[in-house]
Amino acid sequence: MKWSAANIPDQSGRIIIITGANSGIGFWMAKYLAQKGARIIMACRSEKRAQTAKEKIIKQQSDAKIEIEILDLSSLKSVKEFSEKVHQKHDRLDILINNAGVMMTPKWQTEDGFEYQIGINHLGHFALTNQLLSLLEKTENSRVVSLSSMAHKSGKINLGDLNWKDKKYNRWKVYAQSKLANLMFAIELDRKLQARNSKTRSLAAHPGMSRTKLGRYFLFGNFVFTFTQTPKKGALPALRAATDSEATQHPYWGPRGIMEAAGYPKKATIKKKAKDQNVANQFWKESENLTKTTFPEASGSSKIGAEE
């Protein structure tokens, strides 16, 4: 089956948050879901870029329902402020797509002192999800979709030095760790949700090798067009994970082509280490300690998952 945007079911009345929705695959997710009637919350760091993206969508679809909210995933303060706004403005949340990310950056730190790639790709989204989970669980058939990567296969969770303070900085290894973190988080979150019979599900997806700004550091020459795909097609695995009624049968979705680099979405390969529950438990606790957020105890809680 060649699952495409045409297979996305009607999303009328649904509220969907997409982080990093102003460009790349995030933009196409927003565009396709808006076309299906969803109310999209574009959670972006730059209001200017988000506004430009919103205008592009509305130019082709005048009735598109799109909101812009500022979210800087490198700042736990910004994550908390964003989450509080969502709780104040909305009484439901159907889908949260943790899409925004950085790749192979220099050795930078976030506002909170985290290594930049793990800080934005994982810790920011970890805090965001915990703080929005009570709203998700109040909503029938809600989902969280986290974006991982083929790079998770070479990743390793360095529990003793998650922020790479004591190691020589290696951009690729640090990026791979963050993408393994995304997949491990998605799987562990779903396990926790199912353990308490929650109707909210957590899945993960990866876009294969998509021609976005994220990959500008290593994609070059004819390789780009031979083994990669457009952001438009790269958005499909996450869209399937978010909307296909049968997607919950498998935790991870990606392209079906050679090495899962390109193609229509299918069940993606998961390395055994991503399902290591012992490491996942330790990593979850460390993520809670670093972000000062916790997994909400009950779906009816009025708290937003942040420790005071």
Report the catalytic residues. 175
Calpha distance 294→204 (Å, rounded): 20
Return the bridge partners of 306, or none.
Answer: 293
User: E strands, the chain, where?
Assistant: 15-19, 39-44, 65-70, 95-98, 143-147, 201-205, 252-255, 265-267
- Provide the phi-psi class of 120: left if phi over 0, else alpha when psi is between -120 and 50, else beta: alpha
Which one, of 183, 83, 72, 50, lies nearest residue 120 by Cα? Answer: 72
Calpha distance 87→304 (Å, rounded): 8
For 73, phi then psi, to 5°, come to -70, -10
CA distances from 221 to 81, 216, 228, 255 (A): 42, 11, 11, 22
Calpha distance 157→187 (Å, rounded): 15
Judge contact between 14 and 8, C-beta under 8 A.
no
Judge contact between 102 and 213, C-beta under 8 A.
no
